[in-house]
A and B are shown apart, each in its own frame.
Chain A
Amino acid sequence: MEPGIHAGSPSGVTLPNTEYARGAIPRPPAVRAESLVKTYSGAEAVRGIDLLVRPGEIFGLLGPTGAGKSTTIAMLCALVRPTSGSLWVAGRDVRTDPVGVRRSIGVVFQSTTLDGRLTVEENLRVHAALHGLARRRTHRRITSMLALAGLTDRRHALVSTLPGGAKRRLEIVRSLLHHPEVLLMDEPTVGLGPHERADVWLYLHRVHRESGATVLLSTQYPAETDHCDRMAVLDRGRVGDVGTPAQLRSRLDDDPVRLVLPPPRSLNDVLPHHAGHNPRFQARSHT
């Protein structure tokens, strides 16, 4: 991703660090994790993750519930301390410089963190003040971000009256309000309908294009990784595989898929169209 392109984008969205924007010094990796471990009172949520996320890319973490996605994101935003291993976000160590890390990231959590009793604009204003955005620039910034999210006409609406998709969009633009270098999203489309989901992705791509921020997101849906430049598959707290979605898919094509079925049902009941035709499926009955 060319840093220079974003510097003067029409919506007034600029990169936070002008040094990086001018290309004077190379941007550090957005995220670098080395044998990252997090243990909660004996249970290992994350057991040795190595990750390298390049600046400017959309990176997906794919895995089922409990694979360690949320814990990884909580560590990335310096909310949870790693038990061992090292972790840098935007070139800053989460252990020694949590405040610096928080300054350079925007976060969209899995469950909403908006205040429903405040209006859309008030929510954004509180965020701007919490992140030390200059007061005279706040108004203009809010206007441009609301336009980006397509929420200009809901500016003075109470957040509790917004539909789910609009809330998500609002959270995404709010997390970008303070020009973060890295945008972290924990299952951004969870709980949304198919329409709203497509909508959120549309805005996400737009936001990514305009801000030039690195996006790291987690998802449970393999189909959603098509939106990512690169992805990692998490399995029981470890990284299974890393690559572009196409690479991972082609690798998967070579693997046989093993189905373990309960005894009463035969493979023909479950996969009438595949059994006997596709060599990828090997039937094996439960013993």
Chain B
Amino acid sequence: MAARLGAEARATAAVWRREIITLLRERLRLVLSLVQPMLLMAALGIGLGTVVSDGGSGVGYVTFLFPGVMVMAVQSPALATGASILGDRELGFLREMLMAPVRRGSLLLGKVLAGTTTATCHGAVLLVFAGAAGLPYDPALLGSLVAVLVLASFALTSLGALLAVCLPSPQTFQAVTGLLLGPLVLLSGVFFPLSVLPSWLTVLTALNPLTHAVEAARHTLTAHLPAAASDALFANLRVWGLRPSVAEELAALTCFGALCLFLAVRRFSRPDQQEHPPTPSPEHRPRDRDGHGTPTHTHRYGRSWLCRLHRTTCRCGNRHHLPRAGTGMMSGYAEHASGDGRRSRTGRVDDVEAQRSSGGDR
């Protein structure tokens, strides 16, 4: 049992180490990732900071913004872990990992831990500029901020991993994360205190993991600031009159991350899950009597709710997409010419019938 656990742990560590080696080899990426948060801090912090009053506390908008920007810096490398899982599949390295005599969950855990580490590094380098945002260089404060970043990274990396194992391609992943990021960031209280939002919107923000990360980071900060605790800017998030403490925010983040990871592992561990079936050869397509390309069957298109594309798996094992424009939302048909080994043609069912009656086959 101990040996078994040891093997799983070593596999997790191997996956983790591979990612870290790549991270260290591409240090330029780390430096470049500093640019956007710095730009945000400069443009919003200084620009907007002149408009937002600090209420005489001496703690300005830049200080308010800083924890949020740190969490934002974490979010994109964290979600990138999902892209990296899909990238491994395209690259073929996923197969090398799947051949290891360990549970698939251990491999995914390695990926998530590596993503957490990478994302935390991306957020933590910003702490170098803490002084510019009016934060004291207090080891206790910096340490607790890093701790918040670790949990925020974990939650978001797990979310990325969950999306990755559920989505078919890196392109779809990009589209979905692109859609998600806007609302996640805007409803997380990075730019404005959530206490100003109407109560129905507050409920939405409470479901957002980024909110808890930003709130936890901000309240860790206020505890170390001299006079800002009463500032309207720093007022706590309130959901139905409840004010979650920093510990509760962190617990929420951990639970969210653990839930995502659990679901991702379950999905990832399904056999055949990560394998695309090979394209069936012409020999495997159903043959008609004369073997000379007469259509063998027609098939009506189904509709995938996720992609909003019309596609279906035909009984020949091929996936079909909507053949051409103008065939209407639910009225596509495919027909199959096998026998001669060419790819299937597509068309409306009446076309097929017309071909048949006019002796369209060679």
Interface residues of A (CB under 8 A from B): 40-45, 64-67, 70-71, 74, 77, 79-81, 99-100, 102-103, 105, 107, 109, 111-118, 122, 125-127, 129-132, 236-237
**Which residues of A sit under 8 angstroms from B139, Cβ to Cβ?**
none
How far, in angstroms, from A130 to B17 measured CA to CA in the complex?
Answer: 11
Partner of B13, one of A45, A117, A129: A129
**Which residues of A sit under 8 angstroms from B18, Cβ to Cβ?**
115, 118, 122, 126
The answer to whether B275 and A80 touch across the interface, beta carbons within 8 angstroms, is yes
Partner of A43, one of B6, B13, B14, B317: B317
Known: A40-B277, A112-B92. Is A77-B99 also a contact (CB below 8 A)? Answer: yes
- What's the least CB distance linking B265 to chain A, in Å? 16
The answer to whether B101 and A102 touch across the interface, beta carbons within 8 angstroms, is yes
By size class, the interface of chain B is 35 or more
The answer to whether B10 and A129 touch across the interface, beta carbons within 8 angstroms, is yes
Closest 3 CB pairs of A and B: A66-B281, A43-B317, A129-B14
**Which residues of B sit under 8 angstroms from A70, Cβ to Cβ?**
278
- What's the least CB distance linking A202 to chain B, in Å? 24
Query: With A64-B281, A130-B10, A131-B101 given, can you name 19 additional A-B contacts, CB distance below 8 Å?
Result: A41-B313, A41-B315, A43-B316, A43-B317, A71-B278, A79-B98, A79-B272, A102-B99, A103-B101, A107-B99, A112-B92, A113-B93, A114-B96, A115-B18, A122-B21, A130-B11, A131-B100, A132-B11, A132-B101
The answer to whether B14 and A99 touch across the interface, beta carbons within 8 angstroms, is no
In the complex, the number of residue pairs spanning A and B with C-beta atoms less than 8 Å apart equals 117
* Stretch from B145-153, B183-191, B282-290 contacting the other chain: B282-290
Partner of B102, one of A42, A130, A236: A130
Interface check B22, CB cutoff 8 A: yes
In the complex, which residue of chain A has the Cβ closest to the Cβ of B106?
A130
**Which residues of A sit under 8 angstroms from B313, Cβ to Cβ?**
41-42
**Which residues of B sit under 8 angstroms from A43, Cβ to Cβ?**
280, 284-285, 315-317
| A–B complex contacts, Cβ < 8 Å, 14 sampled | A42-B317, A43-B315, A66-B284, A77-B99, A79-B98, A79-B99, A80-B272, A81-B271, A81-B272, A107-B99, A113-B91, A129-B10, A129-B13, A132-B7
- What's the least CB distance linking A206 to chain B, in Å? 23
In the complex, which residue of chain A has the Cβ closest to the Cβ of B285?
A43
In the complex, which residue of chain A has the Cβ closest to the Cβ of B280?
A43
**Which residues of A sit under 8 angstroms from B275, Cβ to Cβ?**
74, 79-80
Interface check B95, CB cutoff 8 A: yes
The answer to whether B317 and A102 touch across the interface, beta carbons within 8 angstroms, is no
**Which residues of B sit under 8 angstroms from A127, Cβ to Cβ?**
96
**Which residues of B sit under 8 angstroms from A80, Cβ to Cβ?**
271-272, 275
Known: A44-B284, A103-B101. Is A129-B17 also a contact (CB below 8 A)? Answer: yes
In the complex, which residue of chain B has the Cβ closest to the Cβ of A40?
B277
Interface check B235, CB cutoff 8 A: no
Interface check B97, CB cutoff 8 A: yes
Interface check B25, CB cutoff 8 A: yes
The answer to whether A66 and B100 touch across the interface, beta carbons within 8 angstroms, is no
How far, in angstroms, from A70 to B10 measured CA to CA in the complex?
Answer: 30
**Which residues of A sit under 8 angstroms from B10, Cβ to Cβ?**
129-130, 132
The answer to whether A66 and B280 touch across the interface, beta carbons within 8 angstroms, is yes
Partner of B100, one of A41, A67, A102, A118: A102
- What's the least CB distance linking A46 to chain B, in Å? 10
Partner of A41, one of B103, B271, B277: B277
The answer to whether A130 and B14 touch across the interface, beta carbons within 8 angstroms, is yes
Interface residues of B in 10-69 (CB under 8 A from A): 10-11, 13-15, 17-18, 21-22, 25
Known: A79-B98, A127-B96. Is A117-B25 also a contact (CB below 8 A)? Answer: yes
Known: A42-B313, A43-B284, A111-B92. Is A126-B14 also a contact (CB below 8 A)? Answer: yes
The answer to whether A99 and B316 touch across the interface, beta carbons within 8 angstroms, is no
**Which residues of A sit under 8 angstroms from B21, Cβ to Cβ?**
117-118, 122
How far, in angstroms, from A71 to B271 measured CA to CA in the complex?
Answer: 14
**Which residues of B sit under 8 angstroms from A107, Cβ to Cβ?**
95, 99
How far, in angstroms, from A237 to B278 measured CA to CA in the complex?
Answer: 13
How far, in angstroms, from A100 to B101 measured CA to CA in the complex?
Answer: 7
In the complex, which residue of chain B has the Cβ closest to the Cβ of A101?
B101
- What's the least CB distance linking B48 to chain A, in Å? 40
The answer to whether A130 and B100 touch across the interface, beta carbons within 8 angstroms, is yes
Partner of B280, one of A45, A100, A112: A45
Partner of A40, one of B22, B96, B103, B317: B317
How far, in angstroms, from A127 to B99 measured CA to CA in the complex?
Answer: 10
In the complex, which residue of chain B has the Cβ closest to the Cβ of A235?
B283
- What's the least CB distance linking B10 to chain A, in Å? 5
How far, in angstroms, from A64 to B6 measured CA to CA in the complex?
Answer: 43
